[in-house]
Amino acid sequence: MKAIKGILFDKDGTLLDYDESWLPVNRELARIASEGDAALADHLLRECGMDPVSGHIVPDSLLAAGNTRQIAEGLVAAGSKVDVIELTIKLDELFSNAAEFSVPVTDLAGFFARLHARGFRLGIASSDNERSIRQTAQRFGFAGHIDYVAGYDSGFGTKPEPGMVLGFCAATGLDPSEVAVVGDNNHDLHMGRNAGAGVTVAVLTGTGSRASLAAASDYCLNDITEIEPLLPALQLA
């Protein structure tokens, strides 16, 4: 393994606590897609991966790992009467506004500042839209420490394709083998593997479990703060 010089993070479930940040958003998503029909809203949530009673999210389901367009298509396939294009626009707006209510897993400004000070090139690759990612970075004070942002609408393809990782490499001059990819579901980890990333790191602040993430991750951590003790070994590999 080459020394790791760059870290590419997923956003939701990785930098942001998934349950605290997204369960209310998912309920609003279903309300929009069902046009206020409560029974249909519950059905749509179940079909897309969320138990409407407990809030449990099925790992790697549409709501756990899909981008806005994929979620909109899934909602329509499950019974929503809203046009896919219209629904995609409405969900993108919902997700962008949701950045204001997101709950970080740690002090992200301090976390990214420490990684930046150690010389890492840093990026965010999310299935959310780019606007929402940038709003999150601004809100939590780490925008000045990131070198790259990619959403599903940024032109690098979608997860688990390798394009977002390769875009990060193009932006930073790194080889994929010098990059660690960090995420909470298999779409993130498979994206890293498909791109030839040097290390894949799973975290448990999202929708995955140790059992669901073990096969595709080199490390499985409770949250991103546990990356910091690993850094000396990764940088000296």
Digit-coded pLDDT (tens) for 25-71: 999 999 999 999 999 999 999 999 999 999 999 999 999 999 999 99
- 123 and 80 in one domain? no
Domain final residue, candidates 35, 67, 101: 101
Instruction: Kindly report the CATH number assigned to the domain that includes residue 114.
Output: 3.40.50.1000
Euclidean distance between CA atoms 10 and 132, whole angstroms:
13
153 lies in some domain: yes
The overall average pLDDT reported for the chain is 96
220 lies in some domain: yes
Which two tokens mark 24?
A: 């209310």
181 lies in some domain: yes
- 218 and 110 in one domain? yes
Euclidean distance between CA atoms 86 and 35, whole angstroms:
13
- 135 and 229 in one domain? yes
- 222 and 108 in one domain? yes
Long-range contacts of residues 34-38, Cβ cutoff 8 Å, at least 24 apart: 34/80, 35/80, 35/81, 35/82
Tell me which residue has tokens 């349950």: 19
Q: Which domain holds residue 213?
A: 6-17+103-235
Backbone angles phi, psi at 220, to 5 degrees: -125, 110
Tell me which residue has tokens 């890293």: 192
237 confidence band (pLDDT: 50, 70, 90): low
Is the pLDDT at 1 greater than 70, yes or no?
no
158 lies in some domain: yes
Sheet holding 179-183, edge to edge: 148-150, 121-125, 6-9, 179-183, 199-203, 219-221
- 77 and 50 in one domain? yes
Q: Quick one: average pLDDT of 129-144?
A: 96
175 confidence band (pLDDT: 50, 70, 90): very high
- 139 and 155 in one domain? yes
1 lies in some domain: no
pLDDT tens per residue across span 101-114: 899 999 999 999 99
- 65 and 175 in one domain? no
- 195 and 93 in one domain? no
- 107 and 93 in one domain? no
- 130 and 40 in one domain? no
Backbone angles phi, psi at 148, to 5 degrees: -160, 140
Q: What is the DSSP string of 43-108?
A: HHHHHHTB-TTT--B-TTSHHHH--HHHHHHHHHHTT--S-HHHHHHHHHHHHHHHGGG--BSS-H
Which two tokens mark 170?
A: 């193009």
Q: Which of 218, 203, 4, 5 is nearest to 105 (CA)?
A: 203
- pTM of the entire structure? 0.92
Q: Which residue type sits at 194?
A: N
Domain final residue, candidates 101, 133, 166: 101
- 141 and 76 in one domain? no
With beta carbons less than 8 A apart as the criterion, state whether 160 and 178 touch.
no
Is the pLDDT at 160 greater than 80, yes or no?
yes
Domain final residue, candidates 67, 101, 135: 101
Is the pLDDT at 123 greater than 90, yes or no?
yes
171 lies in some domain: yes
Provide the number of structural domains found in the chain: 2
Report cis status (omega within 30 of 0) of the bond before 160.
yes
- 32 and 131 in one domain? no
